[in-house]
Amino acid sequence: MSGHSKWSTIKRKKALVDAKKGKIFTKLAREITIAAKEGGGDPDGNPRLRLALVQAKAANMPKDNQERAIQKGTGELGDVTFEPFIYEGRGPSGSCFILTGDTDNRNRTVAEIRHMFSKHGGELSSNGAVSWMFDYKGVVEIDKERIGEEALMERALGAGAEDIQDWDDTWGVLCEPSDFSGIEEEFRDLEPDADVRYLLKPENELSLEGDVAVQVAKFWALLDEHDDVQKTYANVSIPEDIMDEYGP
């Protein structure tokens, strides 16, 4: 009986992992499609597409899926129309969120997101109500096995980086958006498939613990799971074990 129970637990966990991976692939495919539609299907001449493909490779997204997404964007598999959006909102316990993504039906998307905020004691806010709490940054994420902290700091600061953050098994090199291409180029020889992206960094983080942290982490995950949402940013600091279990 215990063996059967353990197997059931394993199957449930695998199903959750597979579902999460499917969500990630869906979001990556949409980003690849939009990038290809905007700038063409050649990643060498399309920085947004190149970045999306690097992220897809890091997530082990099948090559065929990547190619189909590019073809969809270039019109080889039919025309697609997506409209970018940025929504800001206040969640439970003083948490603030910014959501970015693309939609083929803005009215549907905004109604669904507004409902999520309202249902969890928050509200979808007007533009500017939350964004002033965040700074727009570029980031290159590098495996710690590739380079030590001192060597990284020397190269990063020499290339114009603003900050270096310690993220468990990786280093996060942060910079102003205007310096992003130079930072990316500086570390391409070190790690050609480094995770490179833009992010919104909160100027000040709200530290949460216990049940409040769990509540906000669950809400964050709910926002992140929406099909049209590509990125979610929050002004909160939540313990790692709670984020691992409940967060996005």
pLDDT in tens, 60-117: 899 999 999 899 888 887 777 888 899 999 999 999 999 999 888 999 999 999 999 9
Helix, strand, or coil here: 221? helix
Check: CB of residue 241 under 8 Å from CB of residue 215.
Answer: no
| Torsion 42-46-48-53 (CA) sign | positive
135-155: b or e for each residue (b if 16 or more CB lie within 10 Å)?
eebbbbbbeeeebeeeebeeb
Any idea which fold 82-248 has? Alpha-Beta Plaits (3.30.70)
pLDDT at 216: 96
Percent of the chain with pLDDT over 70: 89
Q: What is the side-by-side strand order in the sheet with 229-234?
A: 123-125, 83-90, 96-103, 229-234
Asked if 2-74 and 82-248 have one fold, the answer is no
- Counting beta carbons within 10 angstroms of the beta carbon of residue 58, is it exposed (0 to 12), middle (13 to 18) or buried (19 or more)? middle
Residues 6 or more apart in contact with residue 220 via CB below 8 angstroms = 91, 95, 97, 232, 234, 236, 247, 248
CATH number for region 2-74 = 1.10.10.200
Please state, in angstroms and rounded to a whole number, the distance separating the CA atoms of residues 159 and 182. 7
pLDDT at 51: 80
Written as six digits, the tokens of 23 are: 């969500």
Query: Lowest-confidence range among 10-24, 36-50, 186-200, 221-235?
Result: 10-24
pLDDT at 8: 36
pLDDT at 86: 93
Instruction: Calculate the average pLDDT of the chain.
Output: 84
Please state, in angstroms and rounded to a whole number, the distance separating the CA atoms of residues 3 and 35. 48
What ranges in the chain are assigned the alpha helix state H?
2-39, 47-58, 63-74, 106-119, 149-158, 180-188, 210-225, 240-246
Domain boundaries along the sequence of the chain: 2-74, 82-248
Please state, in angstroms and rounded to a whole number, the distance separating the CA atoms of residues 205 and 234. 8
